[in-house]
Chains A and B, each alone.
Chain A
Amino acid sequence: MAGRCLFPKTLSTHDMEGKVVIIGGGAAGMEAAGQLARAGCNVTLLEKQSLTGGHVRNWYHLFPDKRDSMEVIEYLEKHIAHKNISVLTGTSVEDIRRKHGSIVVKASDGREFDADAVVLSTGFDLFKSERKEEYGYGIYDNVITSADLELMFRKGEIKRHDGAVPQKIGIVHCVGSRDEKAGNLYCSKLCCVAAVKQAMEIKGYIESARVFCFYMDMRMGGAHYEELYRESQEKFGINYIRGKVSEVSENINSKLVVKVEDTLAGRPLKMELDMLVLMAGMEMSEGGRIIAENADLKTGENRFFAPADHHFGSNKGNMKGVFYAGTCTAPMNITETISHARAAVADVIYYLKEGKS
């Protein structure tokens, strides 16, 4: 049956060709692959890394319910273990071209894949925190990123570079997000809640630790986020200071000295910390950027793929037969990414059935 979409008779009255190439094997790509395969399409899933799973593999517990991220990975892996799906890891894509009604996907090793439709799920890259040199990432040993902290959680120990257990920890929000100077005007949306989750989790490891979050706004827009924020203050005693960190230095005791303006108290603040965590924002992935540039796919001011329509076409772009899924269009959490991937699948199926000609 491979090569044909078997869709419920109520939706489909005639057969159709269905060869779909999915670029990017993270949460969005895997979810879309699974759904399309179950609809009868022949799916090729291309992933540049040696493993599928994308960024989710690097996280430890997920907000808001502290689910182990490995459960999500297991679900997704099961999802793509399907006879209609061939997974090609270690394959990065350079260009896509329309050719006689079908689409050619060009890999950087020279291989070409023909497809009736393409799903781009190239995801995001974490903002490179070195670019905010004033925060001292890569200069001071005890300045780490949120991703580094997740690895520490996974390892089961939070330690300073000298091996000591940190007692006073700062978390800087909006690193590379809502920052005109970093070139990113947009909000990465989930760092706030991730910071809340991480702050609480730190307290789980080091009960005596004092955690300070330096924020501009607390954007707690998702389901259960506000509750989590409240819990972090009531049960865990996390301190929230509204103000942007201006600079970080290290003193002779190798403590980090953070300068920040407490905008609620209206005064400058200087604080000594044992460790500083930078909540790195999300940026358009480098892989996605290369494809967008070579294939003339429209990108927005935020450099992510620009959807054809914000309300009705968030999975479509400016090339016929090419669909977007997940964080390659904007920052999203895992729930939203999976929903967005499913919506892309609906668009692909409709396109293969009706819209191709």
Chain B
Amino acid sequence: MQFDPFIIPFEIGLYSIVIYAVVRSVMWFRDLSKQDKLRLQRGFFGRSFGRSIREIFMESLIHRKILKANPRLGYMHMSLAFGWFLLILFGTLEADIFGSSHLNPPYKAIFFKFFNPDHGRTGFEAVWSFIMDFLLAFILSGLILAIIKRVSSRVVGMRKTTKLKPLDKVALISLWTIFPSRLLAESFTSGAYGTGSFLTGSLGSWLASFLPANEMAYPFWWLYSLSLGTFFVLLPLTRYMHIPTELFLIFARNSGITTGDKAGAFTEMQIYSCSSCGICIDACQLNFSTGITNIQSAYLLKGIRNGDNINDISFNCLMCGRCDQKCPVGIELTPIRMIRRRAGETHPVEKKLLERYFPDKPAVQLPKANGKPSYNFLPAIEPGQADVVYFAGCMTHLTPSIRNAMISILDASGVKYKFIDENGGVCCGRPLMLAGQDKEARELINFNSQLILRSGASTLVTSCPICYKVFRESYYLNVEVLHHSQFIRNLIDDGSLKLNFLRKKVAYHTPCDLGRGSGVYDEPKDVLRYVSRLQATDADDENSLCCGGSLGNMKISYHQKHKIATDAAAILTKDNPDILATACPLCKKTFASATKTKVADIAEIVAEAIVQPNPVRNVADTQSTPLHSQMPLSTV
């Protein structure tokens, strides 16, 4: 039995992290809801298992998404994760093949060179040594990038990187020490025995030429073991917890578990899966328009993990969802922020070191309305009976040109409809939800639900993406909810709306709650393409920007919102469109004072294109009405 006392720190670290991982996993599994437990079990023994393994390989090891978003940063993550994985894999095989026995304890693989200093002299052994050296060099190249990133994040192509807390620094230094100390330990040993490949061999023989290599090697083996042990022991307290947690998260997510609006084990897994890579900071408009760099999702999750005071952070967000889309780990960042908002103002808790290994669950309850009708003082609204009801919403009432346009479209299409909040209604509830006031929002939702139920409608059309999102997600109604862009597209498609072609260049801004928030990207563009010349912009689809008018941010000033709006408008109007089109009354209002370009809702543009019943035609008219605009959209 080969043994040396220097392996003790590594052994302690390794076994404590393994035990911790098992305990924490059991705790998480226990905390899952009954349905989620079933999902996970089915997922684990089902088809999604393969998907999870593949995703773990592609994302946790190769870091494909980061590589795509930012190759240099991706290489850094990949070299450390994939390189280390291969080093362990090949190290284990090496110990198995060349060691004194098979099925070795892990330390044999990690410290193989120490126990087998003579290894690597001949043929196959030398090839293997070359592989091991190559992997070490691969990791070290990533490490150099990581160190440079700490000093200057721009080198790896990031505008900003995350700031660290003290324990993170200790863990970071121990992580950084691991591979250089291994390099030196192996090099000295190789130097003393004349073994090693291109890296450890050459470095070793050079070092041995002026240093007593045999004596020098031992302290570095200690350092190597100590840094590994320290890193493992501290790991649960630091952001490196993301390494083991992400594996669990990938299984859970592939089993079909989602955040929804629940606080619980899945939310916690996501919170601990964040590697603080900082990609969310780069994606955030608050960063690049207003220079606010301390509230992004990486900081929110870090604050939740550490029990810091994050009241300001959680409410200082546009809730646009850009970071959700860019997050390489696929964490549902905006839903987590919504859950955090529901907890209201919380106070930071000073935790003892041991408590931090097993933190309390964030207990954020799902709200229930108190059932008492709070809006009795409002005049009774009689919605009337109709198949299609139109709910304009507060913001549309504040932009009467959109409301008027919708009325003329509805009238021109011949659809039988009722305008249920024509003479006033109550808010859809989403602004309150964004402020964390879900309970109060529930009362609004109940009020509107009754109104819609009484109308007997099967289709609900709304002009505001904010309403659209909440109608779809938080109302329990048996109606088809359509944003007016979808509704107009249907009208064009079934031929009930006849439109002219307007000879105008139009750039389209995708509203956050419609695009990212509800997945409606194509319908508005189809409609615009049908009536105008739609330009491509740098902010199309998933690259779309927040207009700055977001109801989600309770912290920034109107001045800062205006800055976000002017920056976004400048990007969208780069190719000088005649009209900057939106599909949201709030975006329209926000952009109207942020650009000199005419801003119009998609409904206004369509209303302008409506073919009048008895058109007085002249030459110019026939020119501006290509044949295709008289045909249903599906045939174009």
Tell me the A residues contacting B by CB distance below 8 Å.
Answer: 130-131, 133-134, 136, 139-140, 180-183, 246-250, 259, 270
B562 at the interface (CB under 8 A from A): yes
On whether the beta carbons of B592 and A131 are closer than 8 Å, the reply is: yes
Determine the chain B residues whose CB is within 8 A of the CB of A249 once the complex forms. Answer: 397, 400, 403
In the bound complex, do residue B558 and residue A139 qualify as a contact, i.e. CB atoms below 8 Å apart? no
- Chain B residue with the shortest CB-CB distance to A181: B558
Taking a contact as CB atoms under 8 Å apart, the answer to whether B399 and A183 are in contact is: no
Number of A-B residue pairs at CB separation under 8 A: 36
Decide if B424 is an interface residue (CB 8 Å cutoff): yes
The answer to whether the Cβ of B152 comes within 8 Å of any Cβ in the partner chain is: no
Given contacts A139-B404, A259-B424, contact A183 B398 (CB under 8 A): no
Q: Give the secondary structure class of A's interface.
A: mixed
Taking CB atoms, residues of chain B closer than 8 Å to A131 are 592-593
CB distance from B467 to the nearest CB of A (A): 16
Q: Mark B186-200, 1 if CB is under 8 A from A, else 0.
A: 000000000000000
Distance (Å) between the CB of B40 and the closest chain A CB?
47
Q: Which of A133, A136, A180, A259 is B589 in contact with, Cβ under 8 Å? A: A133
Q: Are A136 and B400 neighbours in the complex by a CB distance under 8 Å?
A: yes
Most buried by A among B399, B400, B562: B400
Question: Top 6 closest A-B pairs, CB basis?
Answer: A134-B398, A180-B558, A133-B399, A247-B397, A139-B400, A136-B400
Q: Which residue of A lies closest to B397 (CB)?
A: A247
A247-B398 contact, Cβ under 8 Å, with A131-B593, A133-B589 = yes
**Contact A183/B562 with A131-B592, A133-B398, A247-B397 known, Cβ cut-off 8 Å:** yes
Known: A139-B401, A183-B593. 11 other contacts (CB 8 A): A130-B592, A133-B399, A134-B397, A139-B400, A140-B400, A183-B558, A183-B559, A183-B562, A247-B397, A250-B400, A270-B424
What count of chain B residues pass the 8 Å CB interface test? 14
B399 neighbours in A (Cβ, 8 Å)? 133-134
Residues on B with beta carbons closer than 8 Å to the beta carbon of A247: 397-398, 400
**Nearest chain B CB to A269's CB is how many angstroms away?**
12
Task: Report the minimum CB–CB distance from A301 to chain B (whole Å).
Answer: 8
Q: How far is the CA of A246 from the CA of B398 in the complex (A)?
A: 8
Contacts of B559 in A (CB 8 A): 183
Given A180-B558, A183-B562, A259-B424, A134:B400 Cβ within 8 A: yes
CB neighbors of A among B216-231 (8 A): none
Chain B residues 396-434 with CB under 8 Å of chain A are 397-401, 403-404, 424
Closest B residue to A267 by beta carbon equals B377
Q: How far is the CB of B423 from chain A (nearest CB, A)?
A: 8
Which partner residue on chain B sits nearest A131 by CB separation? Answer: B593
C-alpha gap A249/B399 in the complex (Å): 10
Shortest CB–CB separation between residue B278 and chain A, in angstroms? Answer: 32
In the complex, the chain B residue whose C-beta lies closest to that of A259 is: B424
Bound Cα distance A139, B601 (Å): 14
Residue in chain A with minimal CB distance to B404: A139
Given contacts A139-B400, A139-B404, A247-B398, contact A133 B592 (CB under 8 A): yes
Q: Once bound together, how far apart are the Cα atoms of A140 and B592, in whole Å?
A: 18
Give A243 Cβ to nearest chain B Cβ, in Å: 16
A-side contacts of B593, CB under 8 Å = 131, 182-183
List residues of chain A with CB within 8 A of the CB of B401. 133, 139
Residue of B nearest to A184 (CB): B558
Q: In the assembled complex, which residues on chain B have CB atoms less than 8 Å from the CB atom of A259?
A: 424
Q: Name the residue on A nearest B424 (C-beta).
A: A259
| Contact pattern, B 375-406, Cβ under 8 Å of A = 1, otherwise 0 | 00000000000000000000001111101100
Interchain CA distance A140-B404 in the complex, whole Å: 10
Residues on B with C-beta less than 8 A from A139 are 400-401, 404
Could you list 15 A-B pairs, sorted by A, with CB under 8 Å? A130-B592, A131-B592, A133-B398, A133-B399, A133-B592, A134-B399, A134-B400, A139-B400, A139-B401, A181-B558, A183-B593, A247-B398, A247-B400, A259-B424, A270-B424
A225 to B420, CA, bound (A): 45
Tell me, rounded to whole Å, the shortest Cβ–Cβ distance linking A335 to chain B. 32
